[in-house]
Structure 1
Amino acid sequence: MQLPTPSELKGKRTDLGLTQNDLARRAGVSQPLIARIESGDVDPRLSTLKKIIDVFEDVEKEDIQVGNIMNTNVISAAPEDHIDVAVQIMEKHSISQIPVLSKGVPVGSISEEMIIRSLADKKKSAVSHMLIREMMGDSFPTVSPNADIKMVSHMLERNPAVLVLEIGQVVGVVTKYDIVKLLSE
Structure 2
Amino acid sequence: MHIPSPEELRSRRETLGLRQTEVAKRAGISQSMVARIEAGSVDPRVSTLNKIILVLNNAEPKKIAAGQIMHTPVLSVSPQASITQAVDIFEKNDVSQLPVIERGVPVGCISESVIVKAIEQQRLHHSHPFVVKDFMEPGFPTVPPDMDVETVVNILQQNHAVLVVEGRQVRGVITKHDLITLII
Normalising by the residue count of structure 2, what TM-score does the alignment of the two structures yield?
A: 0.70
Query: What residue ranges of structure 1 are gaps of 5+ in the alignment?
Result: 1-21, 43-54
CA RMSD of aligned residues (A): 3.0
Which residue pairs with 2:135 in the alignment?
Answer: 135
Which residue pairs with 1:73 in the alignment?
Answer: 73
CA–CA separation in structure 2 for the residues paired with 1:126 and 1:66: 43
Normalising by the residue count of structure 1, what TM-score does the alignment of the two structures yield?
A: 0.69
Which residue pairs with 1:97 in the alignment?
Answer: 97
CA–CA separation in structure 2 for the residues paired with 1:143 and 1:23: 35
**Are 2:138 and 1:152 aligned?**
no
Change (3 A) 1:152 1:119: same
CA–CA separation in structure 2 for the residues paired with 1:126 and 1:24: 73
Counterpart of 1:113 in structure 2: which amino acid? S
CA–CA separation in structure 2 for the residues paired with 1:59 and 1:100: 39
* Percentage of matched positions with identical amino acids: 36
Change (3 A) 1:35 1:93: closer
Query: What residue ranges of structure 2 are gaps of 5+ in the alignment?
Result: 1-7, 33-55
Which residue pairs with 1:47 in the alignment?
Answer: none
Residue 36 of structure 1, CA deviation: 3.8
Change (3 A) 1:95 1:26: same
Residue 59 of structure 1, CA deviation: 4.0
**Are 2:96 and 1:125 aligned?**
no
Q: What SS class does the counterpart of residue 152 from structure 2 fall into?
A: helix
**Are 2:166 and 1:166 aligned?**
yes
Q: Tell me the matched-pair count.
A: 147
Change (3 A) 1:36 1:173: same
Counterpart of 2:170 in structure 1: which amino acid? V
Residue 183 of structure 1, CA deviation: 1.6
> After TM superposition, which residue ranges in structure 1, 4 or more long, deviate above 4 angstroms?
22-25, 37-40
Which residue pairs with 2:181 in the alignment?
Answer: 181
Q: What SS class does the counterpart of residue 63 from structure 1 fall into?
A: coil
CA–CA separation in structure 2 for the residues paired with 1:168 and 1:159: 20
CA–CA separation in structure 2 for the residues paired with 1:154 and 1:118: 31
Counterpart of 2:108 in structure 1: which amino acid? G
Residue 146 of structure 1, CA deviation: 0.4
Which residue pairs with 2:106 in the alignment?
Answer: 106
Residue 103 of structure 1, CA deviation: 0.3
Residue 120 of structure 1, CA deviation: 0.5
Change (3 A) 1:24 1:72: farther
Deviation track 1:144-166 (CA, whole Å, cap 9, x = no partner) reads: 00000000001111110000001
Residue 63 of structure 1, CA deviation: 1.8
**Higher-Rg member (1/2):** 2
CA–CA separation in structure 1 for the residues paired with 2:117 and 2:9: 54
